[in-house]
Amino acid sequence: MLTKDLVRYRVHKQRIHPQFVDPNSPELLAFAASLLALFAGASGQTRTSLQGQVNDVIAVFPDNVTIARGLEKLLFDRTEFDEDASGDHLAFRKKVFTASGPKLAGELPEHPEAYRREIAAALGATPEALEAQLYQDLPAHHPVLSFKPLSPAGLLHRYNCAQVQGLLIRCAKLDLEFPESEPARLRQLLKSLRFHQLLARIFRTAEGTTLVQVDGPLSLFVQTQKYGFNLANFFPALLHQPDWTLRAEVQVRKSETHQLELDNSCGIRSHYRPFLAYVPEALQLLQQGVAAKLPEWTLQSVTDFLALEGEQYCFPDFLLKHQSGAQVPLELFHGWHTGPLKARLTQLENCPEPPLLLGIARTLLKDVELKGLLEASDYFQSYGFLFRDTPSVERLRPVLECWLGLQTSEELPLFRL
């Protein structure tokens, strides 16, 4: 991510325009390639040495130096330094201070050189050598451990993406519009919203356009930047949508709000991996199991979101359709979903009608508070089940029966914790 001073933008009539670079510019690609070459070959070099070489390259950069410093920042972010290479420096310093401490507490000579020579002699070194070695483990001296490579064009796209992210950090409200979007893509986008703990309000227009308003709970009361980082981190996920428009209120200067407008024509390439309609093998097995053991049911991926009380929407993982025409969504919560599950349980307790089934990974029970919530949840007792690695048909069957009103929850021991 870029710091505020490295974000380039222009303001015109209340609109803010990020200053993108041309990712096809031969000059910029050549410059990016020369920087990348330095970083790729920097293994073992100190930060100071690498910084010196980068400064030499930047010194002859003919364009705005802020661009060069921005690219440099992104590359340093991808560089890992060996901070533990310091080894014996602590012990060495202790030895030096154990020698200098008593001297400083006693009579000191008029000239510091005599003092320096005395300390150095006590440690069998020259003052100059001692001086050079004393703080040799400072970050400036840390060697490069590794660098995550990327292509020159990838770096320029990454830079353009970071320009927008740098503005979104200072944004309190974000409106997104998707005239057409494949359900699978939209689903991933909404999952990404949830992953970044963003709150969204979703509408569909009569023409089929999806509108998403994104912000955090507190933004109702204050122009919060607390969610700015989440919004910024969410942005690369948006770039995977084929057709989108973004409108944001950005506050780069105190008490001045500017409108940021962007759409898919900006041409920025996402550096996030698309995972679209990927269905893990284990879940494919569930589909096969349902087909074999529950012939009256079919299992398919959900193509739409579900309106709920409270947070207002969720995007279940599967939809189960019964031959009678009844259908029920199934939402799965894995080991990393503690927070979302707690929120979902609260919402579901307030729902007049059960809107979906819950499949919950057993590992979530390690959270004592969550375990207590599940034990106390009538909803989970009736419409939820636990699974170890993947949901099984055996666990699913009684919940489905309960859903159809064939059994009562009291007779379903599988739900008990």
Partner 1 sequence: MASPTSGSIFLNFDRGTLLLRCSEGEFPESVLAHLKGVEWDPRVRNYRAPAWRYRDLVLALHTRGIPFKDNARQFAPTEFSLQKPITPRSFQQEALEAWLPEKHGVISLPTGAGKTILALLLIAKTQRPTLIHVPTLDLMRQWQEVLESHLGMTVGLIGGGQHEVRDITVTTYDSALIHVSQLGNRFGMLVFDECHHLPGEQYQFSALGSLAPFRLGLTATPERGDGRESVLWELVGPLCYEAHIDELQGNTLAPYRIETIPVKLSAKEQVEYQRFRECYTGFLRRERIPLNKPNGWQIFLWKCNQSAEGREAFQAYLTQKRLAQAATGKIDWVWTLLRRHVGDRILIFTQDNDMAYHLGRRFFLPVLTHHTKLPERQALLNAFRNGSYPVLVTSKVLNEGVDVPEANVGLIVSGSGSVREHVQRLGRLLRGRPGKQAVLYELVSQNTGEQSINKRRRQHRAYERSGALPGA
Q: Which residues bind partner 1 (CB under 8 A)?
A: 5, 64-66, 90, 93-94, 96-101, 104-108, 110, 112, 115-116, 119, 130-132, 134-135, 138-139, 197, 199-201, 213, 216-218, 220-222, 224-226, 253, 309-312, 339, 346, 350
For the bound state, the minimum distance from the C-beta of residue 256 to partner 1, rounded and expressed in Å, comes to: 11
Distance CA 69, CA 405 (A): 65
The helix (H) or strand (E) run that includes residue 230 is helix 228-238
When the beta carbons of 164 and 200 are compared against partner 1, the nearer one is: 200
Query: Helices (H), strands (E): how many in the chain?
Result: 14, 16
For the bound state, the minimum distance from the C-beta of residue 152 to partner 1, rounded and expressed in Å, comes to: 23
Backbone angles phi, psi at 267, to 5 degrees: 75, 15
When the beta carbons of 242 and 339 are compared against partner 1, the nearer one is: 339
When the beta carbons of 41 and 52 are compared against partner 1, the nearer one is: 52
For the bound state, the minimum distance from the C-beta of residue 136 to partner 1, rounded and expressed in Å, comes to: 10
When the beta carbons of 86 and 287 are compared against partner 1, the nearer one is: 86
Nearest to 164 by CA among 269, 29, 45, 305: 269
For the bound state, the minimum distance from the C-beta of residue 78 to partner 1, rounded and expressed in Å, comes to: 22
Can you give 89-146 as a three-state secondary structure string? HHHHHHHHHHHHHHHHHCCCCCCHHHHHHHHHHHCCCCHHHHHHHHCCCCHHHCEEEE
Q: What is the four-CA torsion angle of 233, 234, 238, 244, rounded to 10 degrees?
A: -110
For the bound state, the minimum distance from the C-beta of residue 88 to partner 1, rounded and expressed in Å, comes to: 13
For the bound state, the minimum distance from the C-beta of residue 216 to partner 1, rounded and expressed in Å, comes to: 7
Residue 50's Cβ-side half-sphere holds a number of Cα atoms within 13 Å equal to 29
Amino acid at 25: S
Instruction: Using alpha carbons, list the distances in angstroms from residue 317 to 90, 181, 338.
Output: 53, 18, 17
For the bound state, the minimum distance from the C-beta of residue 308 to partner 1, rounded and expressed in Å, comes to: 10
When the beta carbons of 42 and 199 are compared against partner 1, the nearer one is: 199
Amino acid at 110: E
For the bound state, the minimum distance from the C-beta of residue 288 to partner 1, rounded and expressed in Å, comes to: 38
Residue 400's Cβ-side half-sphere holds a number of Cα atoms within 13 Å equal to 25
Distance CA 318, CA 148 (A): 37
Structure-block tokens of residue 271: 């550096």
CA angle 163, 169, 175 (to 5 degrees): 90
When the beta carbons of 99 and 266 are compared against partner 1, the nearer one is: 99
When the beta carbons of 101 and 149 are compared against partner 1, the nearer one is: 101
For the bound state, the minimum distance from the C-beta of residue 218 to partner 1, rounded and expressed in Å, comes to: 5
Residue 124's Cβ-side half-sphere holds a number of Cα atoms within 13 Å equal to 2
When the beta carbons of 93 and 395 are compared against partner 1, the nearer one is: 93
When the beta carbons of 112 and 267 are compared against partner 1, the nearer one is: 112
Instruction: Give residues with Cβ within 8 angstroms of 185, minimum separation 6.
Output: 240, 241, 242, 276
